[in-house]
Structure 1
């Protein structure tokens, strides 16, 4: 091949690897359009998209430093997936001024308030409470709440999902509820809840969702072939379940008589089928006003954004923030919205 002719042996091997990674990234751009129940094995690739993007950026930089035209391969693939790049890293952010008015919302997976002592700190519930009280969002959506360790938060309106497990969904609000309900997921401890909230003279429907988790330990460092195969199958089944759950929520969203805001833990990335289905015509608050990688899950190998706040097009997203507090395996996210 002419493109390899002037490369030394090491660079030839490197470019072959570059070609493989670029091909995988290119294929991943089609994943949001492929239902996991039909393409379950391919759906697993969506988790690797942040890694594939970062590796392609490194290859691009490497060839540019060496002044080699091979940089064009990764550059072209990254350019074709520009929207995927923005979902991973946002270059423009919006800061909120103290005088700026609007509705503040926060979403936070609190991991059962450290009930099983995953973090070696007995004061985690108190620290979470202090953090929430300091931020004081108008509406707070919590996933994996543990009512047996309930936080004495000063919110006059609270709606919780009925759960046989310790893991619950809760919506805390400074504004009154007009209606509320639960969207149950079949054969799952996960669910979604919603509340119609009267804010001055307007009504918003707030969704709090928690899609199926794989139950995979993100800190596992070594995988043999047998374990890898089992992990792959588990992830495939998880994404199939997520499709059913996301379709239920999506259909419910379509029938909402009010402007909607959907937040929660999707247990999947912005490069997935379920994200595309749920986002529909909503705006991703991070993409509008966030900055940096926007990582929401404590994964040591590369940034993962699996928690989202999706906002109705009839509302303006004025700011977005990732809070770097390590009281859970997730980081809280918040946004300020205003009437458009």
Structure 2
């Protein structure tokens, strides 16, 4: 510190604070939001903390200062023990027997009829071009404008008269379906059992409690920060309750399984850690890059495709087409 200029001393103090926050964030998977709800908020900022600490590391490295070791140390710990921020390599193998699964938060299809691409007229055309065997949809909305050609589907709206809910479309016969029917929320978890040759495969569709943060909307930032924090921490508490409900239900199924959905939380959270125990994350197994699934200025991965441990993930893709505030993700899965 003695050999640093006054400005560099300020930078290093800020560097120390943000490196400490990133280090603390590695404890997030072990602390339930129901215990310390406020701490769970940090999970949303882990990608930003990684980017900032990487910036500090490069800054000190260019200046040939030993202060570079602080951020380097914290980043290396994260690389070794936490969910990857960036995947360098991917798998691109494919078999004719693969089950192609797409998960997509469609935001009630409100942008699906707008032309966003010179080669694809609508979001429905995009889905058709990818031709998934199973299409898992969050924020579904019943409408005559929906153009999805599948022989089987399970749609669960929040109530009998409502049009908003969740859906799973399948090329394979659905022999069972159900819903966890969360109380006092518009979010939910539904599931189906499909038959593929001799296999019965359970497919879950998760949409955990929404934080109701819309950074791209005009009125974002006008809400009182204290009220926003209270609302977000309450949402994290609900996510913890919903996660426990899901785990209790999921443990009753011992066969092949796929878990898809919008967790409204990142890969650095307690929610993600609990749900992914004894499972494979398709992005980690076969993905590449940031795996960004939410349309924001930094790479947020809050949508996931998971499988049981016996599954083989041959391919994973996160698409960049903007027909929603989420990006669709797709995996090719085999056993």
Fold conserved between structures, TM > 0.5: yes
Say whether residues 1:317 and 2:309 are aligned partners: no
Greater shift, 241-250 or 79-88, is seen at: 79-88
Could you tell me how far apart the structure 1 residues matched to 2:175 and 2:113 are? 39
Could you tell me how far apart the structure 1 residues matched to 2:114 and 2:101 are? 27
Q: Is the 8 Å Cα contact of residues 193 and 208 (structure 1) preserved in structure 2?
A: yes
- 2:46 counterpart residue number: 49
Which protein is richer in helix relative to its size? 1
Q: 1:220 to 1:153 in 2, by over 3 A?
A: closer
Structure 2's unaligned 5+ residue stretches are none
SS at match of 1:178: strand
What CA deviation, in whole Å up to 9, does each residue of 1:56-78 have, x standing for no partner?
11111111111111111011111
Could you tell me how far apart the structure 2 residues matched to 1:296 and 1:209 are? 15
- 1:216 counterpart residue number: 213
- 1:10 counterpart residue number: 7
What CA deviation, in whole Å up to 9, does each residue of 1:77-99 have, x standing for no partner?
111111566532111112245x6
Structure 1's unaligned 5+ residue stretches are none
* 1:132-147 superposed matches below 5 A: 132-147=127-142
SS at match of 1:184: coil
* 1:120-199 superposed matches below 5 A: 122=114, 127-149=122-144, 151-164=146-159, 165-199=162-196
SS at match of 1:320: strand
Could you tell me how far apart the structure 1 residues matched to 2:20 and 2:215 are? 26
Q: 1:134 to 1:272 in 2, by over 3 A?
A: same
Q: 1:333 to 1:83 in 2, by over 3 A?
A: farther
What CA deviation, in whole Å up to 9, does each residue of 1:205-262 have, x standing for no partner?
10001011121221368747x7111111111000001111111111111111311110
Q: 1:200 aligns with which of 174, 197, 207?
A: 197
Cα displacement (A) at 1:149: 4.2
Which 4+ stretches in 1 moved above 6 angstroms? none
Cα displacement (A) at 1:162: 3.0
- 1:286 counterpart residue number: 283
- 1:102 counterpart residue number: 98
Q: How many residues align?
A: 329
- 1:239 counterpart residue number: 236
Could you tell me how far apart the structure 2 residues matched to 1:265 and 1:21 are? 28
Q: Is the 8 Å Cα contact of residues 112 and 124 (structure 2) preserved in structure 1?
A: no
Q: Is the 8 Å Cα contact of residues 112 and 324 (structure 2) preserved in structure 1?
A: no
Cα displacement (A) at 1:338: 1.3
Could you tell me how far apart the structure 1 residues matched to 2:144 and 2:269 are? 34
Could you tell me how far apart the structure 1 residues matched to 2:78 and 2:316 are? 23
- 1:68 counterpart residue number: 65
- 1:77 counterpart residue number: 74
Say whether residues 1:32 and 2:25 are aligned partners: no
Q: 1:101 to 1:201 in 2, by over 3 A?
A: closer
Could you tell me how far apart the structure 1 residues matched to 2:181 and 2:263 are? 15
Could you tell me how far apart the structure 1 residues matched to 2:216 and 2:329 are? 23
Say whether residues 1:258 and 2:258 are aligned partners: no
Cα displacement (A) at 1:203: 1.0
What CA deviation, in whole Å up to 9, does each residue of 1:134-173 have, x standing for no partner?
1010111011111124523221110011323443111111
Q: Alpha carbon RMSD of aligned pairs, Å? A: 2.0
Q: Is the 8 Å Cα contact of residues 104 and 326 (structure 2) preserved in structure 1?
A: yes
Q: Is the 8 Å Cα contact of residues 112 and 122 (structure 2) preserved in structure 1?
A: no
